[in-house]
């Protein structure tokens, strides 16, 4: 048995040692301790030396002594010291006090495990964490600045835009006097572009509010059928101008949904607006609504340009404008679908798309039914 202990003591990389409690004189030490202390001597050469002559203690020593004194043993105590050549070391320390059977003298027996590597990794991790936290804070600050900037600029845009639009509209309607055909055409272009810019401002402000987590939903029970009919009626002139026919087809007897009125308008306006935008003259846009799987599903279907399958995964990303020439040349910033997805999800619903290039697209979203 003694052989076994001896072999283990020589074999282990942990430091094992005994010392007198009162003055810290080393009575026994193994090679593990010599290595941990970074010394270049045999374990036997440590015997008779004082601990404080082979270790430069730092603040924890007092704590260990105090705990040992109090309870007679300590377990898993992590402490830091410096070796005589100035290297920082951390060890995991277990020790107990026993009495020498012959002299009655108090003896401390200890095992220390070198955890310096682990501590270095922990320190690096801590530093990396601090750097990350700082970057995160910086990004948050920049994001706040960006949000403030978008909000301020967008609001500043609104007033002149409204003035430009309404005066152009008044002139186009000949309320300020006769205008010739060329002037009329130009005025209508101004009105249309002002509308596009106004849509962009609305989308930017919406996205800004959503991103800042400040979109507050005022949920109430709404008639999905009425809602769809209203949005379709509001967009009918735009569709007619393009020669696109637009139909509302809510299921008979469709009940109420739980939604925020403003958000639902934004969702439908964006989807129906897209359907009209990406459908050519002679095409049709149909908005259906029906009960499915305990929810109300709204489908906005068109027989327009369609979207290539490889782009469908990105379609709901901010600023994604699609591959078609039309999308690239036309107006729009690629914000509408990102807003739709976010708002639908905030309502507890989901959104999906089915599309075939050249045949048309179908965007579907679900809403919760209002409690009866
Ligand atoms: N009904 C549709 N038919 C064909 N392509 C569509 C349809 N809806 C969306 N897309 C494609 O998805 C892209 C992203 O749509 P989204 O509504 O997010 O942006 P946008 O309409 O281009 O600009 P915005 O909505 O900001 O005015 C569009 O640019 C277009 O390529
Ligand atoms: Mg859009």
**How many CB atoms are located within 10 Å of the residue 122 CB?**
12
The answer to pTM > 0.75 is no
Helix, strand, or coil (residue 13)? coil
Bridge partners, residue 79, by sequence:
91
Q: pLDDT value at position 215? A: 85
Kindly state the tokens that stand for 29.
């030490």
CA distances from 283 to 120, 125, 232 (A): 68, 60, 15
Residue 73 pLDDT exceeds 90: yes
Once rounded to an integer, what is the mean pLDDT over residues 5-10? 90
Ligand 1 atom closest to residue 326's alpha carbon, by position in its atom list: 31
Q: Note the pLDDT tens digit of each residue in 58-67.
A: 766 677 888 8
Q: pLDDT value at position 333? A: 85
Residues 302-325 as b/e (b if ≥16 CB within 10 A, e otherwise) read: bbbbbbeeebeeebbeeebebebe
Q: Note the pLDDT tens digit of each residue in 87-113.
A: 999 999 999 999 998 899 999 999 999
User: Are the C-beta atoms of 293 and 367 separated by less than 8 Å?
Assistant: no
Ligand 1 atom closest to residue 305's alpha carbon, by position in its atom list: 4
Residue 363 pLDDT exceeds 90: yes
User: Are the C-beta atoms of 226 and 263 separated by less than 8 Å?
Assistant: no
Ligand 1 centroid, distance to 65 Cα (angstroms)? 72
Q: pLDDT value at position 295? A: 95
- Least-confidence region, from 26-40, 291-305, 313-327: 313-327
The residues near 357 (Cβ < 8 Å, ≥ 6 apart) are 305, 306, 307, 308, 309
CA distances from 248 to 261, 349, 368 (A): 18, 21, 20
Q: pLDDT value at position 43? A: 95
Once rounded to an integer, what is the mean pLDDT over residues 262-271? 94
Q: Note the pLDDT tens digit of each residue in 207-222.
A: 888 888 888 899 999 9
Q: pLDDT value at position 79? A: 86
User: Are the C-beta atoms of 292 and 366 separated by less than 8 Å?
Assistant: yes
Ligand 1 atom closest to residue 316's alpha carbon, by position in its atom list: 18
Mutate to test the pocket of ligand 1, among 269, 302, 336, 343 (most ligand atoms within 8 A of CB): 336
**Phi-psi category of 177—alpha, beta or left, where left has phi over 0 and alpha has psi -120 to 50?**
left
The residues near 248 (Cβ < 8 Å, ≥ 6 apart) are 225, 228, 229, 231, 232, 233, 287
Mutate to test the pocket of ligand 1, among 306, 317, 322 (most ligand atoms within 8 A of CB): 322
Q: pLDDT value at position 39? A: 95
Kindly state the tokens that stand for 316.
């709901």
Mutate to test the pocket of ligand 1, among 198, 203, 242, 274 (most ligand atoms within 8 A of CB): 274
Ligand 1 centroid, distance to 334 Cα (angstroms)? 6
| DSSP 8-state code for residue 310 | G
Residue 186 pLDDT exceeds 60: yes
State percent of the chain over pLDDT 90: 73
Residue 325 pLDDT exceeds 70: no
Q: pLDDT value at position 66? A: 85
User: Are the C-beta atoms of 301 and 275 separated by less than 8 Å?
Assistant: yes
Nearest to 32 by CA among 13, 4, 49, 55: 13
Residue 75 pLDDT exceeds 90: yes
Among protein residues, the one whose CA lies closest to atom 7 of ligand 1: 274
Ligand 1: residues with CB < 6 A are 199, 203, 270, 274-275, 278, 302, 304-305, 307, 315, 320-322, 324, 327, 332-338, 361
Model confidence band, residue 326 (pLDDT cutoffs 50, 70, 90):
low
Model confidence band, residue 264 (pLDDT cutoffs 50, 70, 90):
very high
Detail the DSSP E strand segments found in the chain: 15-20, 26-29, 56-57, 73-82, 88-99, 106-114, 219-223, 245-250, 256-260, 284-292, 295-302, 351-356, 360-368
Residue 324 pLDDT exceeds 80: no
User: Are the C-beta atoms of 285 and 272 separated by less than 8 Å?
Assistant: yes
Beta strand 256-260 pairing with 351-356: unpaired
User: Are the C-beta atoms of 90 and 79 separated by less than 8 Å?
Assistant: yes
DSSP string, 37-57: TT--S-GGGGTT-BHHHH-EE
Mean pLDDT, the chain, whole residue set: 92
- Distance, CA of 270 to CA of 268 (rounded, Å): 5
Q: pLDDT value at position 84? A: 93
Q: pLDDT value at position 59? A: 65
Helix, strand, or coil (residue 88)? strand
């Amino acid at each position: 048995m003694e052989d076994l202990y001896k072999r283990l003591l020589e074999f282990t990389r942990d430091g094992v040692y005994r010392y007198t409690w009162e003055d810290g004189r080393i009575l026994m030490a193994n090679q593990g301790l010599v290595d941990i202390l970074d010394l270049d001597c045999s374990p036997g050469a440590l015997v008779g030396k004082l601990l404080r002559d082979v270790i430069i203690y730092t603040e924890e020593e007092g704590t260990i002594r105090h705990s040992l004194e109090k309870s007679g043993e300590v377990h898993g105590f992590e402490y830091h010291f410096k070796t005589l050549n100035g290297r920082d070391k951390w060890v995991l320390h277990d020790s107990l006090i026993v009495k020498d059977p012959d002299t009655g003298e108090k003896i401390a027996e200890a095992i220390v495990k070198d955890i310096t590597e682990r501590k270095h990794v922990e320190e690096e991790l801590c530093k990396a964490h601090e750097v990350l936290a700082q970057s995160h804070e910086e990004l948050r600050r920049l994001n706040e600045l960006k949000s403030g900037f978008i909000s301020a600029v967008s609001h500043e845009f609104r007033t002149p835009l409204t003035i430009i639009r309404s005066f152009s509209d008044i002139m186009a309607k000949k309320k300020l006097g006769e205008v010739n055909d060329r002037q009329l055409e130009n005025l209508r272009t101004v009105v249309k572009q002002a509308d596009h810019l106004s849509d962009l401002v609305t989308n930017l402000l919406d996205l800004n509010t959503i991103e800042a987590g400040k979109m507050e939903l005022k949920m109430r029970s709404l008639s999905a059928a009425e809602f769809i009919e209203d949005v379709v009626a509001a967009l009918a002139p735009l569709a007619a101008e393009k020669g696109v026919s637009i139909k509302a087809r809510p299921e008979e007897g469709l009940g109420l949904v739980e939604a925020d009125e403003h958000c639902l308008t934004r969702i439908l306006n964006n989807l129906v607006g897209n359907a009209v935008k990406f459908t050519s003259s002679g095409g049709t846009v149909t908005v259906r609504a029906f009960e499915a799987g305990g929810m109300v599903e709204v489908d906005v279907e068109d027989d327009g340009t369609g979207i290539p399958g490889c782009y469908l995964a990105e379609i709901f990303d901010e600023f994604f404008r699609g591959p078609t020439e039309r999308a690239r040349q036309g107006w729009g910033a690629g914000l509408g679908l990102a807003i739709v997805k976010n708002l639908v999800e905030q309502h507890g619903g989901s959104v999906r798309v089915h599309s075939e290039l050249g045949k048309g697209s179908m965007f579907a979203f679900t809403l919760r039914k209002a409690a009866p």
